[in-house]
Each structure stands twice: as structure tokens, then as C-alpha cells.
Amino acid sequence: MPEFRTIDAGQARLRVAVEGQGPLVILVHGFPESWFSWRHQLGPIADAGYTAAAIDVRGYGGSDKPHPVEAYSMEQLTGDVAGVADALQPDAPAILVGHDWGAPIVWNSALTRPERFSAVAGLSVPYSGVPNRPFTEIFDAAFTRKGRFFYQAYFQDVGPPEAEAEADVRGFLRKFYYAISGDAPEGSWPQKPVGAKLLDGLIDPQPFPAWLTEQELDYYVGEFRESGFRGPINRYRNHERDFDWLQGLKGRLIEQPSLFIGGTKDPASTGFGRIADPIAMMRQHAPGLQAGHMLEGCGHWTQQERPDEVNAILIPWLKALKP
């Protein structure tokens, strides 16, 4: 097990799982996960000569869980990442790796603090540049106005999504994880009307795919039973706030060396069908992109579903960054 530290990041105290010694690599998870989603990467990154530091994002696990929606804005979360970097490696820039919501967090951390972060890798969610309109407007036009359910629209209403998830944490996680995994058959993320609940029509597989054991699921269940889902879901309620914050960065690119790893069965890798070629799209906004990989048949939980493949890409990329 890694060493757990509680780090004052400035505006929040975060639990950080730390392993190894050397240049700092900060790992940032997504929804609904924890530091634990990097359990297959911490050791290999440490063995490669780095300090691997996997955070619990605010709202999760052992980190602070402020109540206000605005406490989960991208500005706040990138500030947390910078605070961890300042605490663990104040004299040199850090390297960032993020998955799911962790990917936009690390992309925007690198964009807004290029002096603080020397390289950045994102899994599942490619970098698409400073937005031209809030994502709420995009999914409203693509889904809500057409009478179609979209989970991020559902998450805008404070209260009901949390209640649905917390009523049966194990069932929620099993169904949500499976529905967008590479193991799920087509149609496992069902089309349904506005007014439906998130879990309506989702499958609880028997057995669950081998990439997540019952013991590993137990860990996640324990974390969310303790923390609840308000903080994690609050991240989705900041699209307009994030848009306003980023408008001052129009024209700025991610110049640092970067890496993208997606999955051909991951809806997030193609922007829910809006991005034909995520790697080509990224090159327009991140000219430092050194490599992009789409793992065949991989679903959304990239580093958990395909740990060996991810490590075989990530570790050589990290080693090549060393001066």
C-alpha cells in the first residue's frame, strides 16, 4: 500500500497516496472513483524512478468535502492540483496524469500554469481547447431539446441524483461502471427520455468483469458510503462557471509534452460522438502532443480495464521526459 498523506493545498486539504522517490507525477481520478483507480500505476511509476502521488479530488474519500456547488469549479480544482505540487515538489515543475474528469483538470492545470507543470497526460477525455460555449448548451441542444436523457443534464438538479446513487451504493457503482466499460454489449447505455433516472435500464452484470474484483469494489463502496455523492456530482454543475473562467485564455495552447490514451468503446473519448478523430483534434490545441493511442475495445475505465497496456505506454513516455 502507498503512504497516505494529508496535504494542505491552500483552499482544501487533500488525501494523497504517495509511492516512490524522484520527480513528481500527480495522478488525478474522475467520477465516480478515487485515488484507488490508479492502484495499477502507482508501483510501476515509482519503480521507474518517480514519486507517484494519486490524489483524492475534493469531495471524495479522505479529502475535504465543501458543500457549495461553486467549490467544485475547474478554477478551484486546478488550484488544488497546484497546491499539491507546491507541497510535494516546490522547487521544480511536476508531471500530470488524469482520467475522466481528472483529464480536464490536468489539461487545464497545464494550460493555466505552464511554469508549474512540465508535461501532461490525459486518459479517456481528449483536450478540445478553450470552449466556445458552455457544455450545458451543447448537451441541451443535442439531448434535452430532443426529449432525450443525458446524464449530465440529470446531474444539474441538486438532490435527486445524489439520492439515487446513495440509495444503493454498490448497485449504483456496478451498473454505472459496467454500462460504459469495454465489456458491456452495445445498448448497455440505453437511450431513454428526459425525466428518466440514471439507473433506468442499466444492467447489473453477473459476474462483474474481472478487471474489478469484489474486494476492489468493496473499497469504492466504503469510500462512497462515507463521503456521499454531492461533492462528486457538483463537478457537473459548474459548466457555465468553468466557461466564464476559461474565456480569458482564448488563443492559449498546451505547449508542454503531452500524451493521450483513449478507448474505442469509450463514449468520452469521442465527445459522445461529436469528435471523429480525437487525436487529430487534440493536435490543434496541444501542439506538444507526442503520442495518441486509442485502445481497441477499451471502455471508459482506461487504466483499470487495461492496466498493462496503459503502463506500457505511460512508463516509456515518462522515462523519455527525463533530461
Cell numbers describing residue 312: 506500457
Residue 264 falls in which region: left (phi positive, over 0), alpha (psi -120 to 50) or beta: alpha
Please say if 300 is a catalytic residue: yes
Contact 103, 123 (CB under 8 A): yes
- 228 burial level (CB within 10 Å; 0-12, 13-18, 19+): middle
Please say if 100 is a catalytic residue: yes
Cell numbers describing residue 106: 490536468
CA distances from 309 to 24, 134, 217, 292, 298 (A): 22, 34, 22, 13, 10
CA-to-CA distance for 61 and 109, rounded, in angstroms? 22
Q: Which of 29, 285, 293, 300 is catalytic?
A: 300
Q: What is the DSSP letter of 2?
A: P
- b vs e for 76-113, b when ≥16 Cβ sit within 10 Å of the residue's Cβ? bbbbbbbbbbbbbbeeebbbbbbbbbbbbbbbbbbbbb
Q: Which of 64, 80, 100, 266 is catalytic?
A: 100
- Sequential DSSP letters for 18-77: EE-SSSEEEEE--TT--GGGGHHHHHHHHHTT-EEEEE--TTSTTS----SGGGGSHHHH
User: Helix, strand, or coil here: 323?
Assistant: coil
Cell numbers describing residue 276: 471523429
List, in order, residues 6 or more apart from 200 with CB less than 8 Å away.
190, 192
Query: Of 61, 24, 29, which Cα lies nearest the Cα of 45?
Result: 24
Q: Which residues are catalytic?
A: 100, 300
